[in-house]
Chain A
Amino acid sequence: MSDQNSKTIDDYKNAVQLLENALQRERNSKKLLEQKLDEKAQQRLDENKEFLKAYQEATSRQIQLQFLSMLNQGMISDRSLKEMFDSYCHNLQQLLEQCPVFLASLTKQTSWQLQQLPTPSSSWQRIDLTTRLEDELTHLISHDQQHWHRQELNGEDPFSTLFHNSTMLFYVISISKSQQRIILLDINHYCYSDDFKNTLRVSGQSFTTAINKRMTEIELSYNNQKLKHTLSTLKKTQQQLAHNDKMASLGQLSAGIAHEINNPIGYVASNLGVLTDYFEIYKNTLNVLSNSLTDKEQEIDPLLSYALEDTPPLIEACKTGVDRVAAIVNSLKTFSRKEQDEFGEVNINDAINSAIEIVWNQLKYEHQLNMQLTPKLPVIHGNFGQLQQVFVNLFVNASHAMSEKGELTVMSQVIADEIEITVSDTGCGIEQKNIKRLFEPFYTTKKENEGTGLGLSVSYAIIEKHDANISVNSALDKGTTFTLRFPIPD
C-alpha cells in the first residue's frame, strides 16, 4: 500500500469518525428537542387533565348507564319472577361475552333445581343434579348477598364437569324465607375494568332490589285479594245473618199463626164431618116426611130440593178448603222447625231421582230433562223425605218457569269437601228485586191459587237443618240456577 493510499484511508476514517460524532451530536440535540417537546406536551396534558378525566369518566359512566338502563327494562313491574330472571340472565350473558349461565333454585329449603342457558339463542335446559352438586350449591348459598363471588374450579370441583371454563362467578338472591336462587356464570376470564366490575355489582344489587320489590307487590296483591275475599265473606255473612234473623222472626210468626189456626181448623174440620152426618139424618128424615105429604104439600118450597142437592158438594168444598188450610199450617210447622224428623245416611242422587219420579208427569210432555248425576256420591247426614220435598219444589218451580220445550238440568258433583247440586232451567228467570225475597214465606210471583209462597221458604228451612246452603243465579228470559251445597260428613 502506498503512502498516498494510506493517507486516503486515514482521511476516510477521520471523515467517518467526524460524521459519527456529528450524527451523535444530532441525535443528542434531537433527544433534547424531543424532551422539551415532551415537557411541553406534558404541560398541555396536565392543563387538560381534568377535562380528559371527566371525558373518560363520562364515557365510562355512559356505558354503565346504558347497561343498567337495559337491565331496568327487564325489571318492569308487571313481569313475573321467571321473566325477570330470564331477562337478567340473558343481559348478563350479553355483557359477559355470551358466557353460559346457570340458574340454581332452592325451593322449600331442601329441593334444588339447576338450569342452564348455554348460549343467548338457546332456551333453558334442565340439568340432573348429583348429591355432590347439591352439597356444593348448599355451600354456595351460604355466601353473602349483594356481591358477586368468584371461585376458581379445579378438576375435583363438582362444577368442573358442567363448566367449560375454570372461573365461576356467582350471585345469591333470596326471594323469600323458603326460596333462594343462585346465578352462576361460566366465564373464561375476569379481566375487566373496575368500572365494569362495579357495574356488574350494581346490576346485581338493582336486580335483587327489583326482585324484593316484586315480591312485596305479590304479597300486597295476595293480601289485598285476601282482604277482598274476607270483605266479601263478611258481607255475605252479614246478609245471611240479616236473612236468618228475618227468617227466624218469620218462623216465630208462622209458628204462632199455625198454632192459632190449628185449633179452629181442627174443630171446623171435625164439625164439617159431623155436619155431613147430620145432613144425612136431615135428608133421610125429609125423605120419610115427603112420602107422607100430598102432591100439593110437596110443592111448598121448590128450593128445598135444590138445597138438598147443593149442600153435599158445598160441604165437600168446605172440607177441601179446610184440608188445604191444614196442609198450609203443616208446611208452616216445617218452616218454623217444629218437626223433629229423624236424620240418617242419605244418598242425594236417590232423593233427586225419587223427586223426579214425582214430577215426571208434569215434565215429560213439555220439557226435556238432562240428568248429570255423578255416580257413587258420598252419603250425607239428612232426612230423605225432606230432601225429596226440596227437590220436588225446585223441579215444580222450574217447570212452571219454563214455557214449552224448556230444559231442566240437574247436576250433582263433589267439590272439595262438599256435594254440589245444581238445578237449572231455561225459563223466564227471576227479577233481581224478587231474588232477595225468594225464600220468604208467602212470597210468590205466581198467580193466585197457583202457589202458596211457602215452597221455597220450607225448602230453605230444610236445607238449613241439613247444614247446607242454597244460592240462586238468574238471568231474565234465559233461566235460573239453584245451587245447593251439602257438607260431606267426616
Chain B
Amino acid sequence: MKGAIFTGLAEFVEQEHSLTLWLEVVDSCTLASKGEYLTTEIYDDEEFFMLAHALSEKLATPAPDLYRGFGVYFFPTLMGIATKYASHVEDVFDFIIIVDSVIHTEVQKADPLAYTPTLLYDRPDDNTLVVRYLSKRKMCHFAEGLILGAAKHFNQKVELSQSQCLLKGDDHCLIRIQKR
C-alpha cells in the first residue's frame, strides 16, 4: 500500500484526535517499518490493518465507520493529486470515474507492477453511478468515505448503498451512488 495512505492516516488521527493517540497506536503495533512512513514508498498492507484495528479498539469505533471517516478526511489529499490529471472536474460522478486511473498512476510511480484495486463503473442513468470495487484489501468503506468526501467537496448530495460486498463473501462490492 502506498505510503501516502499511512501518512494520511497519521494526519487524520492527529487532526481528529491527537498526536499522542497516533504515537500510542504506532507503539502498540509491531511494525516492520517502525511507523516511519514516506508518502512515496510502498508498505505492507498488513501494517495498515494493524494500525486501523488498534485505532478502532482505542476509539471504540466500528471499523467501517473509522474507514469511512478516514476516507472523507483523505479526499482533499486525493483531490490534490487528481487535479494534476483533471483540473476541469466539477461533478462528483466525473471525479469518481477518474479515480481509478489516478490511483493506478500514483501507485505505479512507486512500483510499476504493484497491486492496485480495480474500480469499474456503470452509469445506468444521469443520477446514478454504480461502482464495482475489486480489491484483495477489501477497503470498500474507505472507498465510500472518499465518495462522500467528493460529494461534500463538489457540494452535491448523494446516497450510497451496497448490494454486494467483499466483506460478506461476494466476488466484488457493488456501490450504488444516487444523486439527491
- Kindly identify, within residues 127 to 176 of chain B, every residue whose CB is under 8 Å from any CB belonging to chain A: 130-132, 163-164, 171, 174
B120 touches A192 (CB 8 A): yes
A52 touches B108 (CB 8 A): yes
Interface residue from B108, B110, B122 paired with A191 (Cβ < 8 Å): B122
Is B18 an interface residue when CB atoms closer than 8 A count as contact?
Answer: no
Min CB gap B60→A, angstroms = 28
- Kindly identify, within residues 106 to 122 of chain B, every residue whose CB is under 8 Å from any CB belonging to chain A: 108-110, 112, 120-122
Interface residue from B38, B131, B171 paired with A97 (Cβ < 8 Å): B171
Min CB gap A197→B, angstroms = 10
Is A38 an interface residue when CB atoms closer than 8 A count as contact?
Answer: yes
The residues of A that contact B124 with a CB separation of less than 8 Å are: 152, 167, 190
Is A42 an interface residue when CB atoms closer than 8 A count as contact?
Answer: yes
B40 touches A34 (CB 8 A): yes
Most A CB contacts (10 A, CB to CB) among B112, B132, B163, B164 go to B112
Q: Could you give, for residues 231-266 of chain A, a 1 whenever the CB lies within 8 Å of some chain B CB and a 0 otherwise?
A: 000000000000000000000000000000000000
Q: Could you give, for residues 23-38 of chain A, a 1 whenever the CB lies within 8 Å of some chain B CB and a 0 otherwise?
A: 0000000100110011
Is A17 an interface residue when CB atoms closer than 8 A count as contact?
Answer: no
B130 touches A191 (CB 8 A): yes
- Known contacts: A52-B112, A191-B130, A192-B120. The answer to whether A41 contacts B125 by CB under 8 A is no
Is B28 an interface residue when CB atoms closer than 8 A count as contact?
Answer: no
Interface residue from A45, A188, A189 paired with B109 (Cβ < 8 Å): A45
The residues of B that contact A52 with a CB separation of less than 8 Å are: 108, 112
Is A376 an interface residue when CB atoms closer than 8 A count as contact?
Answer: no
Is A82 an interface residue when CB atoms closer than 8 A count as contact?
Answer: no
Min CB gap B90→A, angstroms = 23
Min CB gap A30→B, angstroms = 8
The residues of B that contact A193 with a CB separation of less than 8 Å are: 120
- Known contacts: A45-B105, A48-B112, A152-B125. The answer to whether A38 contacts B174 by CB under 8 A is no
B174 touches A191 (CB 8 A): yes
Most B CB contacts (10 A, CB to CB) among A34, A48, A152, A191 go to A191
Min CB gap B112→A, angstroms = 6
B109 touches A44 (CB 8 A): yes
Interface residue from A45, A189, A192 paired with B108 (Cβ < 8 Å): A45
Distance, CA A169 to CA B51, complexed state (A): 44
Is B30 an interface residue when CB atoms closer than 8 A count as contact?
Answer: no
Is B61 an interface residue when CB atoms closer than 8 A count as contact?
Answer: no
Q: Nearest residue in B to A190 (C-beta to C-beta)? A: B122
The residues of A that contact B109 with a CB separation of less than 8 Å are: 38, 41-42, 44-45
- Kindly identify, within residues 67 to 84 of chain B, every residue whose CB is under 8 Å from any CB belonging to chain A: none
Most A CB contacts (10 A, CB to CB) among B38, B40, B105, B124 go to B40
A189 touches B174 (CB 8 A): yes
Contact count band on A: 20 to 34
Min CB gap B1→A, angstroms = 16
Min CB gap B19→A, angstroms = 9
The residues of B that contact A45 with a CB separation of less than 8 Å are: 105, 108-109, 112
The residues of B that contact A48 with a CB separation of less than 8 Å are: 112
B39 touches A38 (CB 8 A): yes
B174 touches A34 (CB 8 A): no
Interface residue from B38, B105, B122 paired with A37 (Cβ < 8 Å): B38
B120 touches A191 (CB 8 A): yes
The residues of B that contact A190 with a CB separation of less than 8 Å are: 122, 124, 130
Q: Could you give, for residues 178-194 of chain A, a 1 whenever the CB lies within 8 Å of some chain B CB and a 0 otherwise?
A: 00000000001111110
Distance, CA A44 to CA B121, complexed state (A): 29
Distance, CA A57 to CA B98, complexed state (A): 18
Distance, CA A38 to CA B110, complexed state (A): 8
A189 touches B122 (CB 8 A): yes
Distance, CA A190 to CA B124, complexed state (A): 9
Min CB gap B58→A, angstroms = 22
- Known contacts: A38-B109, A45-B112, A152-B125. The answer to whether A191 contacts B40 by CB under 8 A is no
The residues of B that contact A42 with a CB separation of less than 8 Å are: 109
Min CB gap B97→A, angstroms = 11
Q: Could you give, for residues 158-190 of chain A, a 1 whenever the CB lies within 8 Å of some chain B CB and a 0 otherwise?
A: 000000000100000000000000000000111
Distance, CA A339 to CA B120, complexed state (A): 93
The residues of A that contact B39 with a CB separation of less than 8 Å are: 34, 38
Distance, CA A45 to CA B112, complexed state (A): 8
- Kindly identify, within residues 191 to 206 of chain A, every residue whose CB is under 8 Å from any CB belonging to chain B: 191-193
Interface residue from A33, A37, A189 paired with B132 (Cβ < 8 Å): A189
Instruction: List the 6 closest pairs (A to B, CB-CB), nearest first.
Output: A191-B132, A41-B109, A191-B120, A37-B40, A191-B122, A190-B122
Residues of B participating in the A interface, judged by any CB pair closer than 8 Å: 38-40, 105, 108-110, 112, 120-122, 124-125, 130-132, 163-164, 171, 174
Residues of A participating in the B interface, judged by any CB pair closer than 8 Å: 30, 33-34, 37-38, 41-42, 44-45, 48, 52, 97, 152, 167, 188-193
- Using A52-B108, A167-B124 as known contacts, list a sample of 20 further A-B pairs with CB atoms less than 8 Å apart, ordered by residue number in A: A30-B38, A33-B38, A34-B38, A37-B38, A41-B40, A41-B109, A41-B110, A42-B109, A44-B109, A45-B109, A48-B112, A97-B171, A152-B125, A189-B122, A190-B122, A191-B120, A191-B122, A191-B131, A192-B122, A193-B120
- 8 A-B pairs within 8 Å (CB atoms) are namely A30-B38, A34-B38, A37-B40, A41-B109, A42-B109, A45-B105, A190-B122, A191-B130
